[in-house]
């Protein structure tokens, strides 16, 4: 799963600069899918995690329109949403354990 996640992040980082803007609120919508069934505090953590994940291949933060497009693309695929949900839970558990 880590390879799939890394490949998707790299592909999005390479693809997004060539694409136009996306719809507003796509990352909010994706976060709702990632934290579905959890409380508000957890959803806040997943949103912060998601914001940190929105980087290009050079590690630079994506622009707002690039992030919206990435979130829209990710949010349209159930398997990718599941991968992001799992990765967020894993990363947040590691952070909580420190």
When comparing pLDDT for 18 and 94, which is higher? 94
Cβ contact 98:82 at 8 Å = no
pLDDT at 96: 75
Q: What is the mean pLDDT of the segment spanning 33-40?
A: 95
Instruction: Give the integer Cα–Cα distance in Å for 55 and 31.
Output: 16
Mean pLDDT of the chain: 82
Tokens of 33: 């899918």
The three-point CA angle 60-45-42 to 5° equals: 155
Res. 19: pLDDT tops 50: no
């Amino acid at each position: 799963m880590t390879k799939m996640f890394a490949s998707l992040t790299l592909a999005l980082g390479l693809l997004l600069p060539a694409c136009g803007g996306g719809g507003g609120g796509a990352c909010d919508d994706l976060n709702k899918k990632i934290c579905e069934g959890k409380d508000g505090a957890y959803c806040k953590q997943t949103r912060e995690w998601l914001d940190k994940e929105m980087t290009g291949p050079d590690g630079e933060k994506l622009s707002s329109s690039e992030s919206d497009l990435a979130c829209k693309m990710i949010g349209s695929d159930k398997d990718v949403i599941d991968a992001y949900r799992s990765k967020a839970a894993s990363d947040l558990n590691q952070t909580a354990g420190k």
